[in-house]
A and B are shown apart, each in its own frame.
Chain A
């Protein structure tokens, strides 16, 4: 089955700096790559996703890049703010069904 590795497990940045989280996946048939944000004690919520026919997608301060050849994708957060502090999860799934395989998560702390 699919295996998703996520790095780093923790990330501390100064407010205003950028944060980058990287994920690799094992199944070349995966073609949907969402990112979820989970605040303390809350449910995971989708923040951005990318499909295999796209190399990069941006939404304000958040961007995701995908390299299908190397089987890795990354989340970039620019101009970080204290409210960006949370755990971020990457995930991958295939077209047949929508089972998401998650990475282990990255705890991001934005220091004011």
Chain B
């Protein structure tokens, strides 16, 4: 059981370049999330998807777009990368309903130069 899988694990981009971070879960979870982690700031929600076909903005959505391709996959796209987007990105998923555990992927370390 792989859980939540993210690709790539590491990426270096030049300012202005675009890229897509991929995330897939095999736990049949309805809800999926993208967080970014910066030193001293915890994990901040970028976007989330409560179910297939729906997406909503989180706390820090500017500069990002998402696609819930199907129940398993939730991708995060940076259209024009900026140095402020240098961070560690985590995808997570959880079952439907309130108060259920969120499972995290292994993270993507992104550096924008």
B-binding residues in A (CB < 8 A): 1, 4, 6, 9, 31-32, 34, 42-46, 49, 51, 89, 93-105
Contact = CB atoms under 8 A, between A and B. Distances in A.
B42 A43 contact: no
Contact of A46 (B40, B50, B101): B101
A93 B99 contact: yes
Interface residues of A, dominant DSSP: loop
Interface stretch (B11-19, B75-83, B102-110): B102-110
Contacts of A42: 106
Q: Which of B41, B98, B100 gathers most chain A CB within 10 Å?
A: B98
B42 A46 contact: no
Q: Tell me if B's interface is mostly helix, strand, loop or mixed.
A: loop
15 contacts: A34-B102, A43-B107, A44-B90, A46-B101, A46-B102, A51-B99, A95-B99, A97-B50, A99-B45, A100-B102, A101-B59, A102-B35, A103-B42, A104-B42, A105-B40
B113 interface: no
Contacts of B97: 98
Contacts of B100: 98
Max chain B Cβ within 10 angstroms of own Cβ: one of A43, A49, A97, A104? A43
Contacts of B43: 44, 89, 100, 102
B71 interface: no
B58 interface: yes
B98 A34 contact: no
B72 interface: no
A103 B80 CA distance: 29
Given A43-B105, A43-B106, A98-B94, A31 B99 contact: yes
